[in-house]
Amino acid sequence: MTRAVLTLNAGSSSLKVALFPAQGDRSLATGQADAIGPEGTLKLKGPFGQPLEAAPGDLGSHGGAMRTVIDSLRVEYPDLALLSVGHRVVHGGDAFAAPVTVTPDILTTLEKLSPFAPLHQPHNLAGIRAATEAYPGVPQVACFDTAFHRSHPWVNDAFALPRALYDEGVRRYGFHGLSYDYVSGELARTAPHLAAGRLVVAHLGNGASMCAIQNGRSIASTMGFSALDGLPMGTRSGQVDPGVLLYLMDQKGMTAAQISDLLYRQSGLLGLSGLSNDMRTLEAAGTPEATQAIDYFVFRCQREVGAMAAALGGIDALVFCGGIGENSRMIRARICERLGWMGIEIDHALNAANGPVISSDLARTTVMVLPTNEELVIARAARAAVGISERTAA
Ligand code: AMP
């Protein structure tokens, strides 16, 4: 029998899945359903990245896509026994500092957080409902992007707004927590002396943020109340002066929906370059606007490494992850170029080889590249919920 856990990341019209065995780090299969609806598509891959045939099925809804995925996986693994399903859920509010097995009461609590993350939370929860319906009795485990950051000290949790807003939940939550959890766990395993120190992790992908981690605990993050703050991203603005938003509302009559579209979908690298949200495309383009978009990205990253190090009172290691952080030696080199004052100096040959260590031998601060694995963090939580500990699994 193939005992396995499924991980799900449900977006507005997409569903990312991974099937993990009850033990071990390598997934048995991964898949992505896109454009869920009449034009839905499904791509599946096996453990070595080889394409797997998708079974014919309904891709018209998240529930249908989920069943089609499992039907397809059953062709590969006819004796599949699904132990639990782990879900990526963007917001756990201030209540959830760890994954939780979902009950109807917990689902109600999580629904109340939807206004804090209206673009993601409702879809994540729809994924939980669809999986509960498709697999009744199989534990559904919610894993939160915010949970890793619940250890922030108050000064990094609050905004300087009237207290009543803090009390109703207007706080700096921080996101990408599953990625930071994975990276700090990997470091604790492979370089415990660094993991015990002051760590700045830069998750640079289509979404981008940084996290200051001390002795395995998050103490600050560049993302705050929403996943808009901090670094510029593929299509998200990153930090903007709130006065700009007042101007857009007052003087240009923009609605909340229009401003939301501007900040989430039209800004960042896409907005600055007028060309693309994709770093590879910008690196290849070489137009003045693409070059400026990259310059802005690099500069804001340098600033935020400084800010995170200030929150930590120093820095022992800088770790890059995410699609850009893991793959773009040019961006890593450029970010590190002006950080010599922090003891950061990279070895260009090591950087070209994508690490794991890319700092020069004599540098005071270790710089590393560690590919992140958010799905594995979710799979481990899904296993833990049914009593499989990683120690017994090792
Ligand atoms: P993610 O959201 O983590 O999948 O990251 C997506 C981002 O990583 C996109 O901007 C890609 O262009 C970027 N990326 C992936 N591979 C490379 C590469 N080899 N060089 C530069 N950027 C890359």
pLDDT reported for residue 186: 96
Q: Are residues 124 and 204 in the same domain?
A: no
The CATH number of whichever domain residue 362 belongs to comes to 3.30.420.40
Please state the rounded mean pLDDT for residues 272-282. Answer: 98
Q: Are residues 200 and 321 in the same domain?
A: yes
Q: How far apart are CA 250 and CA 85, in angstroms?
A: 46
pLDDT reported for residue 391: 59
pLDDT reported for residue 393: 43
- Does the pLDDT at position 292 exceed 90? yes
Q: Are residues 294 and 199 in the same domain?
A: yes
pLDDT reported for residue 151: 94
Q: Are residues 287 and 363 in the same domain?
A: yes
Predicted TM-score (pTM) of this structure:
0.95
Start-to-end Cα distance in the chain: 19
What total number of domains does the chain contain? Answer: 2
What percent of the chain is predicted at pLDDT more than 70? 99
CA of 233 to the centre of ligand 1 (A): 11
The answer to whether residue 353 is domain-embedded is yes
Which stretch of 93-102, 115-124, 269-278 has the lowest confidence by average pLDDT?
A: 115-124
Instruction: Kindly list the strands in the beta sheet with 51-52, ordered across the sheet, starting from the edge strand earlier in the chain.
Output: 51-52, 41-45, 29-34, 15-21, 2-10, 80-89, 140-144, 100-101
Which of 275, 327, 354, 375, when mutated, tests ligand 1's pocket best, judged by the most ligand atoms within 8 Å of its CB? 327
pLDDT reported for residue 392: 46
On average, the pLDDT of the chain sits at: 95
Torsion angle defined by CA atoms of residues 32, 37, 79 and 76, in that order, rounded to the nearest 10 degrees: -50
Closest atom of ligand 1 to 204 CA is: 3
CA proximity to 202, closest of 11, 16, 331:
331
- Does the pLDDT at position 342 exceed 60? yes
Kindly state the tokens that stand for 304.
């935020």
The answer to whether residue 389 is domain-embedded is no
CA of 208 to the centre of ligand 1 (A): 11
Residue 61 banded pLDDT, cuts 50, 70, 90: confident
Which stretch of 50-54, 308-312, 323-327 has the lowest confidence by average pLDDT?
A: 50-54
pLDDT digits (tens, 9 = 90+) for 294-324: 999 999 999 999 999 999 999 999 999 999 9
Q: Are residues 270 and 362 in the same domain?
A: yes
Q: Give me the active site residues, please.
A: 145
Instruction: Kindly list the strands in the beta sheet with 366-369, ordered across the sheet, starting from the edge strand earlier in the chain.
Output: 217-221, 208-214, 198-204, 317-321, 366-369
Burial of 189 by CB count in 10 Å (0-12 exposed, 13-18 middle, 19+ buried)?
exposed
Q: Are residues 129 and 208 in the same domain?
A: no
- Does the pLDDT at position 389 exceed 90? no
* Residue 355 CA: distances (Å) to CA of 50, 282, 292, 305, 367: 26, 23, 27, 19, 9
Q: Are residues 132 and 38 in the same domain?
A: yes
Torsion angle defined by CA atoms of residues 383, 193, 230 and 284, in that order, rounded to the nearest 10 degrees: -90
The answer to whether residue 374 is domain-embedded is no
Q: Are residues 206 and 106 in the same domain?
A: no
Measured from CB, residues less than 6 Å from any atom of ligand 1 are 205-206, 234, 278-280, 283, 322-324, 327-328
Q: Which domain holds residue 255?
A: 193-369
The answer to whether residue 167 is domain-embedded is no
CA proximity to 156, closest of 221, 87, 248:
221
Q: Are residues 278 and 343 in the same domain?
A: yes
Backbone Cα Rg of the chain? 21
- Specify whether the backbone of 139 is left (phi greater than 0), alpha (psi in -120 to 50) or beta: beta
Q: Are residues 135 and 235 in the same domain?
A: no
CA 345, 349, 350, 353 torsion-angle sign: positive
- Does the pLDDT at position 205 exceed 50? yes
CA proximity to 336, closest of 315, 359, 355, 307:
359
Q: How far apart are CA 17 and CA 56, in angstroms?
A: 17
- Strand boundaries in 308-371, DSSP class E: 317-321, 366-369
pLDDT digits (tens, 9 = 90+) for 138-165: 999 999 999 999 999 999 999 999 999 9
pLDDT digits (tens, 9 = 90+) for 169-194: 999 999 999 999 999 999 999 999 99
Q: Are residues 264 and 340 in the same domain?
A: yes
